[in-house]
């Protein structure tokens, strides 16, 4: 599970901050530049970007009302240069249209959950606290982890645990969940963690950290529709870029990273039919990759913030206007 902002006593360290600043800098130096931070969280990356670019306007999006409230406080010194919106990232094009800014110079995605979401026991994200099964980033949406755990079929649960949690024992965990909930609804994080523990073979339990970790990650991704939102949001971000504009994606899960890899790969491709003597402008790529493969945090960062270990960073730049 990813925690974006851990490691400094009492503070929050944004993941791969130096690299994010470096990759976005060429795009944000244009006068009147606009950046969308599509996962505002506590505003850590946002604050550093606003400090580094005195002329930058930042549009921050987060679906969690608490994140918007906290980052509004944190970014108060930059209030004149920020627009903070509670929205889902796949509403990016709508948010931009409402702000009257259809093209932007940069977009940052820092996917996953934030430390307050994990660390506030009552939100039901963490197996380390006992709380009602909730896990909603948007506290007003209807789907909760309680609904997923108690109403999804055993087959659906197996798929979610396998695909989103990479849980080897997905079907065993799903089977035990189905059996236990038939006797009594599974209402708390503690009860669910106990069930997962019981479902996993004892020999495996002794290695690889808390066995509930993968199940909790899978449920969180399902409850918040994280992959679907990102899959819709990234193309909108790429479409919105001006020439020279850049998108940077920090992902924490192989499925998220695979999505960003594929979506970017489609855009950087030359689609000219093979064998043409002269390349056709209409088929030339509109984008280029700025990173080679996925970049990972360096050892210093991992020593300071071991929970950044799963981070993968990719970036792309628009090099031509759309036809």
Ligand X SMILES: C[S@@+](CC[C@H](N)C(=O)[O-])C[C@H]1O[C@@H](n2cnc3c(N)ncnc32)[C@H](O)[C@@H]1O
Residue ranges in contact with ligand X by CB under 6 A:
4-5, 14, 39, 41-45, 61-64, 67, 88-89, 110, 112-114, 137, 226, 229
Nearer to ligand X, 113 or 199 (CB): 113
Nearer to ligand X, 21 or 113 (CB): 113
Tokens of 126: 């963490």
Residue 62 annotated as part of some ligand binding site: yes
Nearer to ligand X, 43 or 165 (CB): 43
- The torsion angle over the Cα atoms of residues 96, 244, 82 and 118, rounded to 10 degrees, is 90
Residue 283 annotated as part of some ligand binding site: no
Q: Phi/psi at 211 (nearest 5 deg)?
A: -65, -20
Nearest distance in Å: CB 289, ligand X? 22
Nearer to ligand X, 70 or 162 (CB): 70
Residue 141 annotated as part of some ligand binding site: no
Nearest distance in Å: CB 215, ligand X? 19
Nearest to 247 by CA among 239, 238, 255, 258: 238
Nearest distance in Å: CB 14, ligand X? 4
Nearest distance in Å: CB 239, ligand X? 17
The residue with its CB nearest to ligand X is 41
Nearer to ligand X, 67 or 157 (CB): 67
Residue 217 annotated as part of some ligand binding site: no
Residue 43 annotated as part of some ligand binding site: yes
Nearer to ligand X, 229 or 238 (CB): 229
What are the b/e assignments for 281-314, b being 16+ CB within 10 Å?
eeeebbbebbbeebbbbeeebeeebebbebbbbb
Nearest distance in Å: CB 269, ligand X? 26
Residue 106 annotated as part of some ligand binding site: no
Nearest distance in Å: CB 89, ligand X? 4
Annotated binding site for S-adenosyl-L-methionine: 43-45, 62, 110, 117
Binding-site sequence positions: 43-45, 62, 110, 117
């Amino acid at each position: 599970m990813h925690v974006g902002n851990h490691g400094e006593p009492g503070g929050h360290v944004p993941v791969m901050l130096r690299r994010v600043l470096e990759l976005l800098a060429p795009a944000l130096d244009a006068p009147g530049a606009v950046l969308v931070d599509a996962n505002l969280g506590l505003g850590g990356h946002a604050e550093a970007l606003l400090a580094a670019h005195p002329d930058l306007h930042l549009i921050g999006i987060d679906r969690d009302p608490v994140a918007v409230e906290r980052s509004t406080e944190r970014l108060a010194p930059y209030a004149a240069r920020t627009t903070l919106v509670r929205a889902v990232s796949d509403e990016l094009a709508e948010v931009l249209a409402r702000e009257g800014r259809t093209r932007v110079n940069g977009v940052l995605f820092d996917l996953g959950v934030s430390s307050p979401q994990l660390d506030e026991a009552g939100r039901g994200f963490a197996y380390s606290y006992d709380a009602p099964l909730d896990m909603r980033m948007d506290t007003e949406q209807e789907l909760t982890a309680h609904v997923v755990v108690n109403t999804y079929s055993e087959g659906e649960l197996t798929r979610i645990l396998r695909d989103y949690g990479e849980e080897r024992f997905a079907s065993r965990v799903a089977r035990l969940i189905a059996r236990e909930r038939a006797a009594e609804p599974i209402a708390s994080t503690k009860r669910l963690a106990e069930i997962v523990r019981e479902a996993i073979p004892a020999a495996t339990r002794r290695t690889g950290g808390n066995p509930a970790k993968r199940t909790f990650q899978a449920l969180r991704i399902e409850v918040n529709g994280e992959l679907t939102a990102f899959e819709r949001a990234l193309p909108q971000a790429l479409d919105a870029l001006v020439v020279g504009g850049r998108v940077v994606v920090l992902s924490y899960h192989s499925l998220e990273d695979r999505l960003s890899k594929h979506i970017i790969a489609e855009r950087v491709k030359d689609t000219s039919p093979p064998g043409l003597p002269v390349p056709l402008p209409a088929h030339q790529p509109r984008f280029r990759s700025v990173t080679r493969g996925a970049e990972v945090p360096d050892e210093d960062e991992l020593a300071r913030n071991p929970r950044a270990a799963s981070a993968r960073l990719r970036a792309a730049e628009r090099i031509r206007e759309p036809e």
